[in-house]
Structure 1
Amino acid sequence: MQSDLKKLAFSSSIWVMIDTVIGQGLRFVSNVILTRLLAPEVFGLMGIISAVLTGLTMFSDVGLKPSVIQNPRGEEPAFLRTAWTIQVIRGVLLSLAAALLAWPIALYYNEPSLVLLIAVAGVTAIVAGFESTWLLVLSRRMNIGKMTVLELSAYIVSLVVMVSCAWYFNSIWALIVGEFTSAILILIFSHTLLAGLTMSFQWESTAVKELIHFGRWIFISTALTFLVSSLDIFILGSFGGLAVLGIYILAKNLSRVAITALLELSSTVLFPVYSRLAEQGFDTLRDQTFKTRALLLLVFLPPLWLMVFLGDDFIHWVYDDRYADAGWMLQILVAGSIASAIIATISPVLLAVGNSFKNLIFTASQLGFQIIGMAVGAYLAGIEGFIIGIAIAEIFCYPVLV
């Protein structure tokens, strides 16, 4: 069984790497093109919109994906249809919440255009809510190949639409139209090419109880994860301005490129693998975890160190002078990402053994360290200190996880 698991993990990892290399390559090319067509302020606005929608999504996360992966009933029709019903309801509520929050957020940033932008972008939550939960079964089975091909296809189409609209309209609406295109294509694929079970509304009380019981701590943990990933955007946007925020988001996104593959491996491969290993006993899980982590870190840490030294030069080679400050920001953020990479190889263990409460405790510590880092850094050195504080916070999180 362990041999089969290794083969499955290896093939899944290959597909994740293919997805990441091609996906990140496409994102980088489109990003370079879009920075030529759109001003930094546009990326600042989109960063706020994305952070709001991501926040609503994560604050309402009831752990459907990890529940399906970890639960023995994860492939039963009644369980999956109940999960889909919850997902649809959640999508509608998210869209309504986005519409309600649009006006106060626009007031906070003194940017009236955010009212319509956030309300319209929030409709993507409804689209995502109707995606088939059979996609979660594919994650459970680590059947990544077909999913990767179709997701990349959807992403390529959405990028073409996004760049075309940016060239023609020179407006932030190009980015929102691109997001809609991707969401609609994935929705269609999930019920056709990737379908393994016809979805219909169902409410099985036992399934609801199991989903909520496992997801109750994940709900809080995911909400805290959102704050860890997006609190910096809300705070920097309020005192640094949209132009600085847009440059920072560019640097932040580039700093995540090197570990995106590792983070994807963590959620789509390591978590299911660790879950199956946990069923074989703690000693097996511990032994295989050490070996897996050593191999992954040997591959992923060298590129991060390289970017720490060459980040500023890279920005000057690729982007125009409007984005020059992204260079030093990138170097600092990548340094913090080294700790994130190390954390990503072991953090799935907590959920794999069904301990969502300890996962919550760790995430809470991440948020605490980040708030302290941002506050102290901003007080001592303004925007530069703020960003350094974010990077240092990642380093302090690892001992807590261990």
Structure 2
Amino acid sequence: MASEEELAAVDDRLEAALALPPPRTRSDLSAMLNRLFWSLGSFVSSYGFRLLSNVVLTRLLDPHIFGIMVVVQAMRLGIELLTDVGIEQNIVRHEEGLEPRFFNTAWTMQIIRGVGLSALFMALSPLFARFYDIDVRIFMAIAFAPLINSLHSTSIFALVKNLEVKKRTLFEFKAEFTGFVAAVTLALISPSVWAMVFGTLIAIATRSALSYRLPHPPHKLMLDRGYVKEIMIFGRWIMISSLVMFAAGNLDRLTLGKVAPLALLGIYGLARAIADIPALMARRLTYQIIFPMLAAARSKGDDSLLANIGPQRLRLVLAGAMIMGLGAASADWPIAILYDPRYAQAGWMLSLLLFASWISILSNLNEGLLMGSGRPSYESGANVLRFVILALGLWFGYRVAGFAGAICALIASEFGRYLFVAIGQRRMNLSFFRQDALATLVMIGASAVWIAMRHALGLGAPWDMLGLALKS
């Protein structure tokens, strides 16, 4: 149940750079809608399988197993982002990206990097195991993930470069399905943490193997010095951005993995994974629709789109506010219906986390506008501030009120990120603060009304179990 929103964010920025320009003809419109359909289809299928997998696995595995995997997968993601020079982004952006020498140089660098990262992960595994009091064999096994992942064909990136979204979606669908079947089968055979460990490795290995069935130039180990230098120069900024986003997005998991019971961490990880979905959806829509359209208009000196985006944006955020408000007010119900009773506390956690997700949605929308207006630096600065606030507030919040306090620190960090981006918008005379304030009031109001109706009907509140958690 690893959360990979940082990697997804990098992919979204990449796909945004490749997005189709605003449609001029009916065929252009059809192409854009087709690409959007398959892009959203990829998102829905991927996270649909993850949710389905979690629903099934929670009925087979204990919460502490999920807690172990939250820590292990977060460490894996952090390791994989080290020396991330953006192999995919380099192949896609370079005009010679599909030429054999560049293509195979990138593939060779990818494998060398995978070998190095797996060796580093294995060397650090005893230290991680002692720090988190987790069986060192689990870290040692997951240490093979970067290597196995690096063995995939760079033909996957060729699909992105050629805008073959449908083929990429179907490929990822097959890989996700195989991973789902592997995890569930292993959990049925042996309901232990090893089912998730080996399920993860099998899913990665299957994806790597399937990638060689995609059309691609012949692979050959080679290193062209000129191309290596180009890839490294371009990739250093991707590495910095990726590490900042990882630190901001995973500090809670890594910190709570040290101070909290693993069973509760597993429940929190489940709630966090669900709560992140709306924000990730907003990011994908922003970077694949709003950003490329604004960028294309800006390159032509046309400011009319930016000037007229306000009314459409207002309708979007008000609709989102209603949905998120109702979701926060009834988050405990789907948890109770879908998941094993041992995970019931995920209900109140999800309810609170959806407020953090709402602020993240607004930030994603605003960051897309700044990117489209040529101000990408604000996104990095916002994530740095998000990390600092979370680092300062997480430990204190957990000490005062347990996971409820930790979630409040997370909400505060998202609010800090939003304010940083809002300041950038104001400097550009592009502020939507009033819209966002109104939408937030609508969300809170919708949530309050629905909770009041629940009380009137004797159905309680989504936070009823929070009182029991604080007492314990």
Superposed pair shares fold, TM > 0.5: yes
CA deviation after TM superposition for structure 1 residue 90, in Å:
1.2
1:18-97 maps to which residues of 2 (within 5 A)? 18-97=41-120
CA contact (8 A) 1:37 1:166 kept: yes
User: Which of 117, 123, 131 is equivalent to 2:144?
Assistant: 123
Q: 1:65-96: CA deviations, max 9, x gaps?
A: 33444444444443333222221111111111
Secondary structure of the residue that 2:192 maps to in structure 1? coil
Instruction: State the 1:27 CA deviation.
Output: 2.4
Equivalent-residue separation in structure 1 for 2:376 and 2:216 (angstroms): 29
Provide the secondary structure at the position in 2 that maps to 1:85: helix
Specify the code of the residue in structure 1 equivalent to 2:402: G
Change (3 A) 1:25 1:80: same
> What SS does the aligned partner of 1:48 have?
helix
Deviation, structure 1 residue 139 = 2.4
1:287-331 per-position Cα deviation (integer Å, ceiling 9, x unaligned)? 698798668656655433332111123222332332122111111
1:368 aligns with 2:391: no
* Distance of 2:89 and 2:233 partners within structure 1: 12
Whichever residue aligns with residue 164 of structure 1, its letter is T
C-alpha distance in 2 between matches for 1:377 and 1:125: 34
For 2:294 and 2:91, locate their aligned partners in 1 and report how far apart those are by CA, in whole Å: 15
Contact 2:385–2:413, Cα closer than 8 Å, also in 1: no
Higher alpha-carbon deviation: 352-361 or 92-101? 352-361
Q: What is the alpha-carbon distance in structure 2 between the residues aligned to residue 299 and residue 205 of structure 1?
A: 52
Gaps of 5+ in 1: none
Q: Could you tell me how far apart the structure 2 residues matched to 1:288 and 1:142 are?
A: 29
* Residues 134 and 190 in structure 1, CA contact (< 8 A), matched pair in contact too: yes
Given candidates 265, 270, 273, the residue that maps to 1:253 is 273
Residue range with higher mean Cα deviation, 20-29 or 331-340: 20-29
Tell me the TM-score normalised to structure 1 length.
0.87
- Structure 1 pair 321/25, CA: closer, same or farther in 2 (3 Å)? same
Pair 1:347–1:208, CA change in 2 (3 A): farther
Greater Cα shift, 168-177 or 342-351: 342-351
Q: State the alpha-carbon separation in 2 of the partners of residues 280 and 74 from structure 1.
A: 27
Q: 1:225 aligns with which of 222, 226, 245?
A: 245
Name the SS for the 1:304 alignment partner. helix
Quick one: which of 29, 33, 56 aligns to 1:10? 33
Deviation at 1:371, TM superposition (A): 1.7
1:242 matched to 2:235: no
Matched residue type, 1:251? A
What residue identity is the alignment partner of 2:229? K
Q: Deviations over 1:328-350 (max 9, x none)?
A: 11111111111222233353577
What SS class does the counterpart of residue 192 from structure 1 fall into? Answer: coil
CA separation of 1:383 and 1:303: change in aligned 2, threshold 3 A: same
**Correspondence for 1:161:** 182
The equivalent residue for 1:144 is 165
- Mapped to 2, the partners of 1:98 and 1:166 lie a distance apart of 25
Pair 1:342 & 2:362 matched = yes
| Preserved contact between residue 374 and residue 390 of structure 1 (Cα < 8 Å) | yes
> Counterpart in 1 of 2:206?
185
**Structure 1 counterpart of 2:412, from 372, 377, 392:** 392
Aligned pair count reads: 399
3-state DSSP of counterpart to 1:131 = coil
Q: Counterpart of 1:231 in structure 2: which amino acid?
A: L
> Aligned equivalents of 2:308 and 2:158: distance in 1?
24
Q: CA deviation at 1:368?
A: 1.6
Q: Give yes or no for contact 1:109–1:238 (8 Å, CA) kept in 2.
A: yes
Match of 1:205 in 2: 225
Within 1, Cα distance between the matches of 2:361 and 2:127? 36
Contact map agreement 1:304 1:334 (CA 8 A) in 2: yes
- Paired AA for residue 182 in structure 1: A
Partner residue in 2 for 1:329: 349
**Pair 266,174 (structure 1): closer, same or farther in 2 beyond 3 Å:** farther
Work out the CA distance in 2 between the residues paired with 1:167 and 1:290: 52
Identity of aligned residues (%): 29
**Which deviates more, 65-74 or 321-330?**
65-74
Q: Rg bigger for which structure?
A: 2
Q: Larger deviation: 290-299 or 49-58? A: 290-299
Aligned mates of 1:294, 1:211 — CA distance in 2? 41
Cα RMSD (Å) of the superposition?
3.0
Residue pair 2:331, 2:350 contacting (<8 A) in 1 also: yes
Q: Deviations over 1:116-150 (max 9, x none)?
A: 11121221211211222232232244321111112
Secondary structure in 1 aligned to 2:23? helix
Query: In 2, Cα distance between the equivalents of 1:25 and 1:243?
Result: 24
- Give the structure 2 partner of residue 378 of structure 1: 398
- Of residues 91-100 and 250-259 in structure 1, the stretch that sits farther from structure 2 once superposed is 250-259
Could you say which residue in structure 2 is the equivalent of 1:173?
Answer: 194
**Offset at 1:274?**
6.4
What is the rounded CA distance, in whole Å, between the counterparts of 1:71 and 1:351 in structure 2? Answer: 21
Q: Which consecutive unaligned segments of at least 5 residues does structure 2 have?
A: 1-20, 426-472
| Equivalent AA in structure 1 for residue 202 of structure 2 | T
Confirm or deny: 8 A CA contact 1:81 1:201 kept in the other structure.
yes
Mapped contact 2:129–2:139 kept (Cα < 8 A): no
**CA distance 1:17–1:361, shift in 2 (3 Å):** same
Letter of the 1:64 counterpart: I
2:244 and 2:47 map into 1 onto residues whose CA distance is: 26
| Cα distance change on mapping 1:392 and 1:73 into 2, 3 Å | farther
